Chains A and B, each alone.
Chain A
């Protein structure tokens, strides 16, 4: 698995975990399934951006920054659609992006030579 897909998978996996933590918020517990699906997509997209960046630029700090910004913006979009829960969605969401960015940078790209 190359940098791009690795970051996508890590972002999506963290998105699932991040979505599941909404179970601890009683007010939104009823929408858990929808939150998990949305969070997974959000994590995967943040991972895709971070993974694409990792293929272009080899820098762990910049990779983390790009992932963080991507996660923050995507989480802001989701929070804006919800008309609330900005802190609850944006703060952890940005870190999911940052971790996906780190994962993309650390992953060795696979090259198959003929």
Chain B
């Protein structure tokens, strides 16, 4: 009698793609998404590990091949399996998913800088006419050296409900749908009890009317940069009190010097009694 464990192994082996005619040897399955299955494989010719994605059409590979950016996983090779399915080999991303990295990154400015790195490849793709349509933490990897890679380009249009812009349901989307998803991701990045300007940035990114959102990821990132630099953010109309607090946090040294001067002056006037 065959044990469940052996049966499971046989089932997995049977599902593995037949790469016998290629330079790749499957090592393990490392991911499964709506668009296909991703395997860890060895490139026997070049002696390196790669990620192989097997899918039903070549759309994603074509999209990816047209996007050369440090934040987008490069495609090495593409082909057709004996069973007719298509595959492509891409750089094996070593690192962790965004949500895992965020759990280990408590410092808000560090979290926001990671978020800004997500905006860059997305903006680049938009400049090439490509909209991701399914941005979410599980599609974003953070490498060992802090590099951020956005995965799963070329999705056919159906995003993940939790991160999907309202207009995506009708199918007509542009880059502002990705801005909406980035807003959702930002919401996770900043957590609850976020500073008012950050909450305002989130709200603008997630406006139900695309025209009221940021025009693109770079505009969104610029507002984050402004907040990090203690500068006003375009999404938030600040009160006089907030402006004073921001000025204080931006000019701590100057305030300390002025306070020291005033204290010394008061000592001279009242204590030394002249």
Residue positions of A touching B, CB distance < 8 A: 18, 21, 24-28, 60, 64, 85, 87-88, 91-92, 95-96, 98-99, 102-103, 106
**CA–CA, A24 to B264, complex, Å?**
14
- Kindly list chain B residues whose C-beta atoms are within 8 Å of the C-beta of A27: 274
Q: A25-B274, A27-B274, A85-B274 are in contact. Are A92 and B257 (CB under 8 A)?
A: no
Residues A102 and B254 in contact, CB atoms below 8 Å apart: yes
The answer, yes or no, to whether B261 is at the interface (CB within 8 Å) is yes
The answer, yes or no, to whether B265 is at the interface (CB within 8 Å) is yes
Number of A-B pairs, beta carbon distance below 8 Å: 42
Residues B265 and A21 in contact, CB atoms below 8 Å apart: yes
In chain B, positions 223-274 with a C-beta closer than 8 Å to chain A are 253-254, 257-258, 260-261, 264-265, 267-269, 272, 274
In chain B, positions 96-146 with a C-beta closer than 8 Å to chain A are none
Min distance, Cβ A74 to any Cβ of chain B, angstroms: 16
**CA–CA, A18 to B261, complex, Å?**
10
What are 24 A-B contacts with C-beta separation under 8 Å?
A: A21-B265, A21-B269, A24-B269, A25-B268, A25-B274, A26-B274, A28-B274, A60-B253, A85-B274, A87-B268, A87-B272, A88-B274, A91-B264, A91-B267, A91-B268, A92-B264, A95-B260, A95-B261, A99-B254, A99-B257, A99-B258, A99-B261, A102-B254, A106-B254
